[in-house]
Amino acid sequence: MKYIYYILVIMIVFSGLAAYGLFDTRVEISKPFLSVNDRIISEAEFESALKRKPSYMSREQFAESLIDKQLLIQEAVRMEINKEENFRSAVESFYEQSLIKILVDRKLDSLVVDVTDAEMAKYEELTQSKIFLTKLNYPTLKDMQEKTNESIQDIESAFINLSDDLKFTLLSLEKGESSRPKKKGMEGIIIYRLNDIQEIEKTEAGKSEEFDVKKVSLLIQDKKKEQLLDEWTDAIRESAEIWRKE
């Protein structure tokens, strides 16, 4: 009986080989493109890397740069730098930063915003104006809520001389209104109150810069995306369980 099983196995094997040849389902293995000591770079790997080639480099120059890179990596490994703690920390930091960058870039790419005619008209009007603001600064959210440790600064400036962040903030404010509290790094919590807007007299000697529609539109789009990104990160924080030692 066991001989019958042997015959069946042999038939199956030969049938498989026949089918393999008949249908040509072999997996193509990429040929080596170059080798540096024991490191082999295949043609497929090189062509994939070539897509990231700097524009000023020729194909040959890029291949030479890969060889140099592999030689330096191999020398670093020979010296066991890859086993050192500072190397591991650097790799971990790079990994985390790359992960966050990819996440944020994808989120920004997914955001769709519009710039209205009213926003463009208001921005153009403000470019001909002088702005009077009060900047309220609080070290922490608790200070803002309790109105403690408050720092007050009055600002008078032509609109065109303000930062892009402040220009965007002013688009949503009318006289007497205050901006939403915004955390700005080491500065803490910042609130701007718009006190007055005065038109700047137009003179031949002091003409304002030409209004660039495309540039302004892109600025407003970018700032709207940044605002949505801040709201997204705030939502992530609010939904998280966070604890810290007092």
The domain spans of the chain are 32-110, 117-200+211-238
Question: What is d(CA 126, CA 123) in angstroms, rounded to the nearest whole number?
Answer: 5
pLDDT of residue 200: 85
Q: Tokens at residue 245, please?
A: 């030692």
Taken in order 165, 170, 176, 179, the sign of the CA dihedral is negative
Q: Which residues of the chain have pLDDT under 50?
A: 1-28, 204-207
155 contacts 133 by C-beta, under 8 angstroms: yes
pLDDT of residue 204: 43
pLDDT of residue 245: 82
pLDDT of residue 10: 40
Phi, psi torsion values for 106, nearest 5 degrees: -65, -40
pLDDT of residue 205: 41
* 117-200+211-238 carries CATH number 1.10.760: no
Question: What is d(CA 194, CA 177) in angstroms, rounded to the nearest whole number?
Answer: 6
pLDDT of residue 98: 95
pLDDT of residue 78: 93
Give the CA radius of gyration of the chain.
Answer: 32
pLDDT of residue 21: 44
Question: What is d(CA 194, CA 173) in angstroms, rounded to the nearest whole number?
Answer: 7
pLDDT of residue 244: 82
3-state secondary structure of 82: helix
Alpha helices (runs of H) in 111-136, residue ranges in sequence order: 117-126
pLDDT of residue 110: 95
